């Protein structure tokens, strides 16, 4: 691992960007477009039919070259090769970071501690293929001899959000008659409502947990097993439960046959794991061939990221643009705006990918970060729904929020003029954010007095537009790998470890300590628990509790 010798904000490349910010602030994007007739061509890139338009950003050529210099000064090139070659870049956990090996469709070996991991990766993929073929064809039977009609994935965080998002995004490719459900929340409602929808005899539970110790997942899995045993008896478990984990012992202790366990490895981070056996629900839903196309798309983006120079590199450009806004324009947030109903879970998925990766306040060397900001607050919703809720703030609020618009050129559900209307909204929104509406324009429309100011749009609000041919498994794979690498780029610049998540521990630990107070096993120390118990009694008095 490279040791950063100088604090990021004291680098001369950083100072040059501060200077550049003072210059660019005075030029509007509207002026930039007037001055540069080829701006759209100059600030856009294609990779197959994956297209990024980044012309509506507050940048000129000079800005980009200064950002590339910052990337070089931060050792970005070396960091990329360290990740791909299996160096232990997750320094706090002493682990390699190799989600890219899961989709390495080349013959290149990938070494972890001197051992090529590719044979194991291929063998798990083969096992996923065999199993998913059997379930999909009806060859795999439940304990009463019936074929499986419902898959229930029980997992949380990275063991839920990726598969949940992808199966929804690729619903059009799903096998009819095989339904996928996802249970993540410890709130009993989540499991109860799901179990209400399925029949025990035709349901397969996938217990997905990297560690197999996560409280929510294990509690839900135990309750699901109790439900199954009540209906079909203890011998049914082996036909209705499979596990995905790195922890063989815990899976065996839970009572799942190791033959029904799909392995993955500690060098796959939870939030980067949908490409591993954690993607089994995806594989079951869309079939192994389509799952492979997803990996192919991601591999295409990996190769692009690994080999292209900074100026032609989509994830690097996206990552550096983020640095430009968060660190020099002091933006706090990023809006993810997929204009595709199937991608409605993308913002939630990217929240974990980005905020759990880069929500860090300490450098790799263990210094507290005081002079610059790290990861953005991510939010979003499928367009055009978001337009009728939070876009007001994007257009006229006091926050400066860069936006990513994501849209397919072709709809998977052509319906009259719907898709043209959808596309026109994407373009309209990006133009409105960029151009705004001046006071003069408002006045020329006949508005008077104090109303004028309310009608003004300041404009100059940046956005990227990503267009893919259509949301096939291949292009979805490319999109997700692009975001993974973009997050990596930013982590490298900020000199943080994007691959641990220590910030989630403290709350979990306290919850475990508090639980005995709620169960009446320990004296109550928290006044709020006294209040809850009092309120529970009142609820009982009114007879609401049934
Ligand atoms: O929230 C912390 C976390 O460790 C995530 O990083 C992870 O994706 C999630 O919990 C689930 O963990 P596991 O797959 O081990 O159950």
CB 251 within 8 A of CB 243: yes
Main-chain phi, psi angles of 362, to 5 degrees: -135, 140
Residue nearest to atom 10 of ligand 1 (CA): 157
Q: Provide the token pair at 329.
A: 């324009």
Nearest to 209 by CA among 169, 150, 268: 268
Residue nearest to atom 16 of ligand 1 (CA): 209
Distance in angstroms (rounded) separating the CA atoms of residues 520 and 328 = 52
Structure confidence at residue 5 (pLDDT)? 78
> Any idea which residues carry the catalytic annotation?
356, 388, 508
Distance in angstroms (rounded) separating the CA atoms of residues 52 and 466 = 5
Distance in angstroms (rounded) separating the CA atoms of residues 391 and 127 = 46
Closest ligand 1 atom to 156 CA: 11
State if residue 355 touches ligand 1 by the CB under 6 angstroms criterion.
Answer: no
Residue nearest to atom 3 of ligand 1 (CA): 157
Closest ligand 1 atom to 161 CA: 8
Nearest to 410 by CA among 461, 468, 458, 476: 468
Q: What is the pLDDT along the chain (546 residues), one digit of tens a residue?
A: 567 878 999 999 999 999 999 999 999 999 999 999 999 999 999 999 999 999 999 999 999 999 999 999 999 999 999 999 999 999 999 999 999 999 999 999 999 999 999 999 999 999 999 999 999 999 999 999 999 999 999 999 999 999 999 999 999 999 899 999 999 999 999 999 999 999 999 999 999 999 999 999 999 999 999 999 999 999 999 999 999 999 999 999 999 999 999 999 999 999 999 999 999 999 999 999 999 999 999 999 999 999 999 999 999 999 999 999 999 999 999 999 999 999 999 999 999 999 999 999 999 999 999 999 999 999 999 999 999 999 999 999 999 999 999 999 999 999 999 999 999 999 999 999 999 999 999 999 999 999 999 999 999 999 999 999 999 999 999 999 999 999 999 999 999 999 999 999 999 999 999 999 999 999 999 999 999 999 987 765 665 554
Distance in angstroms (rounded) separating the CA atoms of residues 175 and 182 = 17
Structure confidence at residue 541 (pLDDT)? 60
Rounded distance from Cα 492 to ligand 1 centre (Å)? 23
Give me the count of residues in the chain: 546
Helix (H) or strand (E) holding 145: none
State if residue 285 touches ligand 1 by the CB under 6 angstroms criterion.
Answer: no
Closest ligand 1 atom to 155 CA: 16
State if residue 276 touches ligand 1 by the CB under 6 angstroms criterion.
Answer: no
Surface-to-core class of residue 499, CB atoms within 10 Å of its CB (0-12 exposed, 13-18 middle, 19+ buried): buried
Q: Provide the token pair at 268.
A: 């796959």
Eight-state DSSP code of residue 353: I
Residue whose structure tokens are 């419902």 = 150
Q: What is the pTM of this model?
A: 0.97
- Which of 157, 161, 218 has most ligand 1 atoms within 8 Å of its beta carbon, as the pocket-test mutant? 157
Structure confidence at residue 2 (pLDDT)? 64
Closest ligand 1 atom to 356 CA: 6
Structure confidence at residue 537 (pLDDT)? 76
Calculate the dihedral angle through the C-alpha atoms of 148, 255, 98, 294, rounding to the nearest 10 degrees.
Answer: 0
Distance in angstroms (rounded) separating the CA atoms of residues 435 and 431 = 6
Residue whose structure tokens are 């929104």 = 429
State if residue 209 touches ligand 1 by the CB under 6 angstroms criterion.
Answer: yes
Distance in angstroms (rounded) separating the CA atoms of residues 388 and 382 = 11
State if residue 211 touches ligand 1 by the CB under 6 angstroms criterion.
Answer: yes
Distance in angstroms (rounded) separating the CA atoms of residues 263 and 278 = 9
Contacts of 528 (CB under 8 A, 6+ apart): none
Nearest to 135 by CA among 1, 242, 249, 12: 242
Helix residue ranges, H only, 148-274: 161-169, 188-195, 215-232, 237-240, 248-254
Rounded distance from Cα 500 to ligand 1 centre (Å)? 10
Structure confidence at residue 527 (pLDDT)? 96
State if residue 219 touches ligand 1 by the CB under 6 angstroms criterion.
Answer: no
Contacts of 106 (CB under 8 A, 6+ apart): 299
Q: Strand pairing of 150-154 and 203-208?
A: parallel
Rounded distance from Cα 158 to ligand 1 centre (Å)? 6
State if residue 184 touches ligand 1 by the CB under 6 angstroms criterion.
Answer: no
- Which of 90, 158, 269 has most ligand 1 atoms within 8 Å of its beta carbon, as the pocket-test mutant? 158
């Amino acid at each position: 691992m490279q040791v950063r010798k100088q604090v990021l904000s004291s680098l001369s490349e950083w100072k040059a960007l501060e200077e550049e910010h003072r210059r660019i602030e005075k030029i509007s994007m509207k002026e930039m477009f007037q001055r540069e007739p080829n701006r759209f061509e100059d600030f856009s890139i294609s990779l197959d039919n994956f297209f990024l338009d980044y012309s509506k950003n507050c940048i000129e050529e000079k800005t980009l070259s200064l950002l590339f210099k910052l990337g070089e000064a931060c050792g970005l090139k070396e960091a990329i090769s360290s990740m791909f070659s299996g160096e232990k870049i997750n320094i706090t956990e002493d682990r390699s970071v190799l989600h890219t090996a899961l989709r390495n469709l080349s013959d290149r070996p990938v070494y972890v501690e001197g051992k090529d991991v590719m044979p194991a990766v291929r063998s798990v993929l083969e096992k996923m293929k065999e199993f998913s073929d059997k379930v999909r064809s009806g060859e795999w039977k439940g304990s009463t001899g019936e074929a499986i009609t419902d898959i229930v994935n029980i997992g949380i965080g990275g063991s839920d959000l990726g598969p949940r998002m992808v199966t929804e995004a690729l619903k059009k490719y799903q096998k009819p008659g095989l339904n996928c459900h996802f249970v993540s929340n410890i709130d009993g409602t989540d499991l109860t409502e799901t179990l209400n929808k399925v029949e025990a005899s035709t349901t397969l539970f996938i217990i997905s947990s990297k560690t197999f110790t996560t409280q929510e997942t294990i509690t839900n899995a135990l309750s699901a097993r109790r439900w199954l045993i009540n209906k079909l008896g203890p011998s049914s478990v082996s036909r209705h439960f499979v596990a995905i984990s790195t922890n063989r012992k815990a899976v065996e202790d839970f009572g799942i046959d190791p033959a029904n366990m799909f392995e993955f490895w500690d060098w796959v981070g939870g939030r980067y794991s949908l490409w591993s056996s954690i993607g089994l629900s995806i594989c079951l839903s869309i079939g192994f061939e389509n799952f492979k196309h997803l990996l192919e798309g991601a591999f295409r983006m990996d190769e692009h990221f690994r080999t292209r120079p900074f100026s032609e590199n989509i994830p690097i450009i996206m990552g550096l643009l983020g640095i430009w806004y968060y660190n020099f324009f002091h933006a706090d947030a990023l809006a993810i705006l997929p204009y595709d109903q199937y991608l409605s879970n993308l913002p939630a998925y990217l929240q974990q990918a980005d905020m759990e990766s880069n929500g860090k306040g300490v450098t790799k060397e263990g210094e507290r970060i005081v002079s610059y900001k790290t990861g953005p607050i991510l939010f979003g919703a499928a367009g055009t729904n978001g337009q009728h809720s939070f876009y007001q703030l994007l257009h006229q609020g006091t926050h400066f929020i860069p936006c990513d618009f994501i849209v397919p050129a072709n709809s998977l559900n052509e319906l009259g003029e719907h898709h043209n209307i959808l596309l026109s909204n994407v373009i309209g929104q990006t133009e409105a954010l960029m151009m705004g509406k001046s006071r003069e324009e408002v006045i020329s429309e006949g508005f008077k007095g104090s109303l004028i100011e309310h009608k003004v749009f300041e404009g100059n609000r940046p956005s990227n537009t990503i267009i893919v041919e259509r949301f096939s498994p291949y292009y979805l794979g490319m999109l997700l790998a692009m975001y993974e690498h973009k997050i990596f780029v930013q982590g490298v610049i900020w000199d943080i470890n994007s691959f641990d998540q220590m910030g989630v521990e403290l709350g979990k630990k306290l919850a475990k300590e508090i639980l005995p107070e709620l169960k009446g096993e320990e004296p109550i120390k928290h006044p709020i628990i006294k209040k809850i118990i009092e309120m529970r009694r009142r609820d009982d008095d009114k007879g609401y509790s049934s």
